Amino acid sequence: MKIQTKFAVSVFTFAVSFIAQAADFEDYARVISVTPQVEQVNRPRQQCWMEQAQVQPRQQQRGSGGAILGGLAGGLIGSQVGGGNGRLAATAVGAMAGAMVGDRVENDNVAVASEQPVRRCQTVDHWETRSNGYAVTYEYRGHTYNTVVPYDPGNRMPVRVSVTPRM
């Protein structure tokens, strides 16, 4: 036989054997029940609100100028009282009292708390129900089958039927 004839016979034999084995077709099965498959999914969210809160301003440095000036003024006033050793004691007491008063006058308003609106936030759980597919029970030619599909098939669903010979 010629080579072209052999090739043609081989192609024909292959095609006939392929057609003889290809016994797949589509049909419809009766749906018995459909149950949605769902799952709970947590998608945390941030929840924020405004509220009034005590706010401390930044601490400023304390000054010492008031204590020095108060001490000098107190010492000067104390030196005007009494005489001898009493004058020396009055000067010392006046200097200490003046230093305390001067320090308090200068540094009394260094840190005053105030109320201001403050934004507060917290993370809260947010659960969602998400469809995961549909559990389907169907009947085809007297037999019952179960499967999960991504859509609700309705009253009937397409099925692929494959027929193979017994050996």
Specify burial of residue 67 (Cβ count, 10 A radius: 0-12, 13-18, 19+). Answer: buried
d(CA 160, CA 167): 22
What tens digit of pLDDT does each residue of 40-57 get?
999 999 999 999 888 766
Q: What is the pTM of this model?
A: 0.41
For the chain, state the CA radius of gyration. Answer: 49
**107 domain-assigned:** yes
**18 domain-assigned:** no
Q: Is the pLDDT of residue 152 over 70?
A: yes
- With cut-offs at 50, 70 and 90, classify the pLDDT of residue 59: low
Q: What is the extent of the structural domain holding 102?
A: 57-112
Specify the pLDDT at position 103.
73
Residues 157 and 131 in one domain: yes
**6 domain-assigned:** no
Residues 131 and 160 in one domain: yes
Q: Which residue has the higher pLDDT, 75 or 139?
A: 139
Specify the pLDDT at position 146.
96
Average pLDDT value over all residues in the chain: 79
- In total, how many domains does the chain have? 2
> 31-61: buried (b, 16+ CB within 10 Å) or exposed (e) per residue?
beebeeeeeeeeeeeeeeeeeeeeeeeeeee
**136 domain-assigned:** yes
Residues 37 and 68 in one domain: no
